[in-house]
């Protein structure tokens, strides 16, 4: 399920759901509209190899699913069509996996990673016309090691990217990182960082899912 809602553009929302039709391994897209209060089936059933229907992200009038090693699938709500974008060579492959995928202030971001030995991250951003990705930020994390030694274990770096948050001003953009003991805010421009939360004796690393909190007034 994916929620398609922009609080400043429209009071109504849509829910986009993917349904598996067993045993044929076909899929259907179902849409719920708060305006009509009804569900409807959209288009014909379709087949996808290795379907990446997880972690849906709503951005730029479409629902996007986490890209796999080959393609990015997204559903455009205005024309109610499923679209495919081939992921450029080097960004995703069988050796690389998606570390982060999300939206902030009208920008869609992707971070992929090869292994736990990498000391830098590249934050990619999707072009507004869905024509491809470009490298928006290159983030070096070496300075974090002195302040958060738990980020390194016998296998390499041990952390996850929870969120990429674009600031009102470009210099305020930061990453939220999750380590085995701490949650950290890291500014991508001045490389400053601070602890947001300590797990103390509770080991939650890699076990929780996080959601951004936005305080709004709505007609729900």
How much is the pLDDT for 105?
Answer: 92
pTM: 0.84
Query: What tokens were used for 47?
Result: 């087949």
* Count of the separate structural domains present in the chain: 2
* Structural domain contains residue 13: yes
Task: Answer whether residue 126 shows pLDDT above 70.
Answer: yes
* CA-angle at 94, arms to 93 and 96, nearest 5°: 60
Q: Does residue 69 surpass a pLDDT of 80?
A: no
Residue 149: inside a domain, yes or no? Answer: yes
- Note whether residue 213 is domain-resident: no
Q: Residue 110, Cβ neighbours under 10 Å: how many?
A: 25
Spatial separation of the C-alpha atoms in residues 16 and 128, rounded to whole Å: 21
> Does 134 share its domain with 146?
no
212 within some domain: no
Question: Residue 100 has which token pair?
Answer: 């982060």
Residues 116 and 134 in one domain: yes
Write the pLDDT tens digit of every residue in 146-195. 788 878 777 777 788 999 999 999 999 999 998 888 889 999 999 999 99
Exposed/middle/buried for 162, CB within 10 Å: 0-12, 13-18, 19+?
buried
Query: Of 31, 28, 27, nearest to 13 (Cα)?
Result: 31
Contact status, residue 176 vs residue 165, Cβ threshold 8 Å: yes
Provide the domain limits for residue 59: 2-140
Task: Evaluate whether residue 76 is within a structural domain.
Answer: yes
Point out which residues pair with 174 in neighbouring strands.
165, 187
- Look at residues 158, 207, 200, 149 and name the one whose alpha carbon lies nearest to residue 179: 158
* Domain shared by 57 and 151, yes or no: no
Nearest-angstrom CA–CA distance, 98 and 66: 8
């Amino acid at each position: 399920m994916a929620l398609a809602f922009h609080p400043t553009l429209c009071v109504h929302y849509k829910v986009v759901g993917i349904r598996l039709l067993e045993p044929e391994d076909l899929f259907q897209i179902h849409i719920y509209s708060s305006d009509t209060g009804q569900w409807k089936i959209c288009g014909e059933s379709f087949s996808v190899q290795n379907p990446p229907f997880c972690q849906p992200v709503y951005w730029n009038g479409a629902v996007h699913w986490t890209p796999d090693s080959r393609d990015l699938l997204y559903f455009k709500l205005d024309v109610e069509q499923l679209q495919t974008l081939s992921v450029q060579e080097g960004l995703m492959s069988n050796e690389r996996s998606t570390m982060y995928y999300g939206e902030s202030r009208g920008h869609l971001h992707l971070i992929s990673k090869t292994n736990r030995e990498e000391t830098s991250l590249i934050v990619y951003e999707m072009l507004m016309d869905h024509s491809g990705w470009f490298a928006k930020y290159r983030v070096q994390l070496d300075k974090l090691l002195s302040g958060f030694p738990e980020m390194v274990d016998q296998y390499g770096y041990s952390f996850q990217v929870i969120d990429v948050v674009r600031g009102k001003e470009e210099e305020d953009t930061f990453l939220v990182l999750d380590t085995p003991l701490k949650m950290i805010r890291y500014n991508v421009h001045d490389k400053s960082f601070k602890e947001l939360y300590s797990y103390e004796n509770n080991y939650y690393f890699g076990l929780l899912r996080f959601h951004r909190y936005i305080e709004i007034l709505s007609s729900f």
